[in-house]
């Protein structure tokens, strides 16, 4: 079962001028076959996201004409005819009955509809109008020598009216979706170049920048140390977050204003920190793992160069690598403005991975750990296999647990130390947590990687019954795509209550997992007939995490917060590791190694000792000394890293 959207690294798509010219040639040929006598360029069968789509194809035809230097003269007539169609048939000035987000009734200002029928799905009219504004300003930018003076004047007037409708007639950003709001601002800033009256242009510019500052930037939400524009109430979204990044790139390209660059840099650094080495990202509050395709390219390419990070490894939906398409693959004008901007932007992908440590990320070659806001792993990737936080007794995480109670939520400052030496990269996380009896427990988690394997060692005060919840095996690289894992070690994850105790390393997809203590693979015991709250129950074995989460969410798919549903998962398939059999006095030590399948044939050596400098950890690959939980004189964690002992 392949994951639906993770199909390929975005930077694997050719993005030179010749590649874009070839795309535009195919789009133009399809558009000329499709155009109706009245000038309609909409994809046949399109029912929603439709109010701007014909105009979007018009802009692509105009772009193809411009890039040809006017030699594609046969495109001129379809551009004019399709623009007339939009101005005649797709500009609405009568209120959509039942539309809930109007401040002024019967204004007569133009807007675009999400669907064409009165009152049908009216909630989408605001973003459709923002998109129509963007398509319109692109046509105005591209159509010198194509449009008649009358057409240019009418389209400029309609675009100006779109902006008034978005800001004066409707409530601004009524769906609390920052990418749409930033898109509207970008459209306004581009519109100013076409308004003849300087006073009108300045008024639009000032209003757009004011709205960005007060209605978008001031409302950013914090996640993992970054301030991010909100998407449907959440700080980040794998569908819309990258689109916001593309809008910020275009805003900076159009205006040169530093605020757009700085805000884009922050989102880009955040995204880089949470991306796995192979490009997978568990997602955000609206779409747990749905990825953008072409909508993300402009922003990721632009900001990858600015911050010096390989964001292009992001796994996008390469079926939509250039433009939106219908189920039959037919080009759709929705988001056509992104293809226009990608084609115009000369920035190329930055392809060198970042080596500077980031607080919420540990990465070396094909090994990565992405951490959440409290420095609990949100994702582990090794040997192309993805592990997510496992759930037990409604608690989710990767870390020590006692009788189903996770010792991962901090009660105090979480401190981090990064060290690189001897070809190894390490991160030490020191976290004070509270146990079920309200006792304070100091937990130190050491992550070490050589770029091939990952060693995780967790030390805490002697805690009887502690086990390491070592992750939910989720997906593995299969023929260049991610496929959901449904079995390991010969055990189906759908076997209710199954427990496999490994006699040595356990193979999970392409991953070999070994432990200093007993290692087990458990599947959730599903009581009763409804197993929807138990991931990898017979009811959920055929579902992705995103689908299972939406199944439990309070809102329908596309509007709700699937993470709220995922929090209702009671238990999942899980790797569990028992403590090392011979720990130092006073400590419980849990240790696992995640490595390629062939590592299962390489002995996992683990030895632990406590001395004046702290806890010494020796494995077959390194020696580390983890200082006391109190840290140094300034309270900073101490860590030294060296090679494995000789012999």
pLDDT, one tens digit per residue, over 328-361 is 888 999 999 999 999 999 999 999 988 889 999 9
The mean per-residue pLDDT over the stretch 237-257 comes to 95
299-318 per-residue burial string, b: 16 or more CB within 10 A, e: under 16:
bbbbbbebbebbbbbbbbbb
The mean per-residue pLDDT over the stretch 432-456 comes to 95
pLDDT, one tens digit per residue, over 536-594 is 999 999 999 999 998 898 877 767 788 889 999 999 999 999 999 988 989 999 999 99
pLDDT, one tens digit per residue, over 456-494 is 999 999 999 999 999 999 999 998 889 999 999 888 999
544-564 per-residue burial string, b: 16 or more CB within 10 A, e: under 16:
bbbebbbbbbeeeeeebbbbb
237's tokens:
């979204």
Task: Kindly report whether the global pTM for this prediction surpasses the value 0.75.
Answer: yes
Of the pLDDT bands very low, low, confident and very high (cuts 50, 70, 90), residue 327 is confident
623's tokens:
């020696």
Tell me the pLDDT of the chain averaged across its residues: 94
Lowest-confidence pick of 279-293, 338-352, 385-399, 508-522: 279-293
pLDDT of residue 291: 80
pLDDT, one tens digit per residue, over 76-114 is 999 999 999 999 999 999 999 989 999 999 999 999 999
Residue 235 pLDDT > 90: no
Residue 423 pLDDT > 80: yes
pLDDT of residue 62: 98
Residue 283 pLDDT > 90: no
The mean per-residue pLDDT over the stretch 244-251 comes to 98
What distance lies between CA 434 and its chain's CA centroid? 31
The mean per-residue pLDDT over the stretch 391-396 comes to 94
CB-based contacts of 309: which residues, under 8 Å, 6+ apart? 268, 269, 272, 350, 353, 354
Backbone torsion region of residue 35, taken as left when φ is above 0, otherwise alpha when ψ lies between -120 and 50, otherwise beta: beta
For residue 271, the SS3 value is helix
Of the pLDDT bands very low, low, confident and very high (cuts 50, 70, 90), residue 234 is confident
pLDDT of residue 647: 63
Residue with tokens 């539309």: 99
Torsion of CA 229, 232, 233, 235, to 10 degrees: -40
Phi first, then psi, for residue 591 (nearest 5°) are: -145, 135
pLDDT, one tens digit per residue, over 49-82 is 999 999 999 999 999 999 999 899 999 999 999 9
Helices (H), 275-423: 294-307, 336-344
Q: What is the DSSP letter of 145?
A: T
Other CB atoms within 10 Å distance of the CB of residue 495: 16
pLDDT, one tens digit per residue, over 581-611 is 988 989 999 999 999 988 777 889 999 999 9
pLDDT of residue 554: 84
165's tokens:
């409708």
The mean per-residue pLDDT over the stretch 397-402 comes to 97
Other CB atoms within 10 Å distance of the CB of residue 429: 24
Given a contact cutoff of 8 angstroms between Cβ atoms, the answer to whether 571 and 391 are in contact is: yes
| Sequential DSSP letters for 202-227 | HHHHHHHHHHIIIIIGGG-EEETTEE
């Amino acid at each position: 079962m392949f994951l639906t959207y993770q199909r390929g690294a975005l930077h694997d798509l050719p993005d030179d001028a010749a590649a874009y010219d070839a795309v535009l040639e195919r789009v133009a040929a399809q558009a000329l076959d499709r155009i109706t006598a009245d000038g309609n360029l909409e994809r046949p069968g399109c029912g929603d996201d439709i109010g701007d789509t014909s105009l979007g194809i018009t802009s692509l035809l105009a772009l193809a004409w411009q890039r040809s230097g006017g030699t594609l003269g046969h495109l001129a007539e379809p551009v004019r005819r399709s623009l007339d169609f939009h101005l005649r048939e797709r500009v609405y000035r009568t209120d959509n009955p039942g539309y809930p987000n109007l401040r002024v009734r019967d204004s007569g200002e133009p807007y675009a509809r999400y669907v064409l029928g009165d009152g049908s799905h009216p909630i989408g009219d605001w973003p459709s109008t923002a998109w129509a504004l963007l398509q319109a300003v692109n046509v105005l930018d591209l159509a010198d020598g194509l449009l008649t003076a009358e057409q240019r004047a009418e389209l400029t007037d309609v675009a100006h009216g779109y902006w008034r409708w978005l800001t004066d007639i409707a409530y601004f950003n009524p769906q609390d979706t920052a990418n749409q709001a930033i898109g509207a601002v970008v459209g306004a800033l581009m519109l100013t170049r076409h308004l003849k009256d300087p006073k009108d242009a300045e008024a639009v510019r000032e209003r757009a920048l004011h709205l960005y500052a007060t209605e978008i930037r001031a409302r950013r939400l914090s996640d993992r140390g970054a301030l991010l524009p909100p998407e449907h109430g959440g700080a980040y979204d794998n569908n819309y977050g990258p689109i916001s990044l593309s809008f910020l790139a275009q805003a900076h390209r159009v205006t040169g204003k530093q605020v757009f660059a700085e805000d884009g840099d922050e989102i880009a650094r955040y995204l880089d920190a949470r991306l796995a080495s192979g490009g997978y990202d568990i997602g955000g509050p609206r779409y747990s793992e749905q990825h953008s395709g072409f909508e993300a390219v402009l922003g990721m390419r632009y900001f990858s160069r600015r911050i010096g990070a390989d964001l292009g490894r992001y796994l996008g939906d390469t079926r939509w690598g250039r433009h939106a398409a219908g189920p039959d693959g037919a080009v759709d004008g929705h988001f056509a403005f992104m293809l226009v901007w990608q084609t115009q932007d000369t920035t190329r992908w930055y392809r060198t991975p970042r080596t500077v440590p980031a607080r919420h990320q540990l990465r070396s070659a094909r090994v990565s750990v992405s951490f959440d806001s409290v420095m609990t792993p949100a994702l582990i990737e090794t040997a192309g296999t993805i592990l997510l936080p496992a759930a037990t007794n409604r608690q989710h995480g990767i870390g020590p647990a006692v009788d189903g109670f996770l010792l991962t939520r901090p009660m105090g400052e979480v401190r981090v130390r990064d060290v690189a030496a001897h070809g190894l990269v390490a991160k030490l996380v020191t976290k004070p947590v509270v146990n079920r009896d309200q006792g304070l427990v100091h937990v130190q988690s050491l992550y070490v990687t050589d770029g091939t394997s990952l060693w995780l060692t967790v030390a805490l005060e002697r805690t009887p019954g502690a086990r390491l919840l070592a992750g939910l095996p989720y997906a593995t690289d299969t023929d260049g795509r991610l496929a959901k894992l449904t079995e390991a070690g010969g055990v189906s994850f759908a076997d209710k209550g199954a427990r496999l105790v490994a006699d040595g390393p356990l193979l999970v997809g392409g991953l070999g997992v070994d432990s200093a203590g007993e290692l087990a693979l458990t599947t959730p015991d599903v009581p009763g007939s409804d197993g929807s709250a138990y991931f990898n129950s017979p009811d959920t074995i055929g579902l992705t995490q995103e689908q299972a989460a939406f199944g439990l969410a309070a809102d329908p798919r596309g509007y709700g917060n699937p993470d709220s549903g995922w929090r209702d998962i009671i238990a999942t398939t899980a790797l569990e590791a028992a403590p090392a059999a011979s720990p130092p006095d006073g400590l419980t030590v849990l240790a696992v190694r995640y490595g390629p399948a062939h590592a299962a044939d390489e002995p996992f050596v683990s030895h632990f000792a406590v001395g004046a400098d702290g806890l010494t950890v020796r494995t077959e690959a390194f020696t580390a000394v983890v200082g006391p939980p109190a840290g140094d004189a300034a309270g900073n964690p101490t860590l030294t890293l060296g090679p494995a002992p000789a012999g």
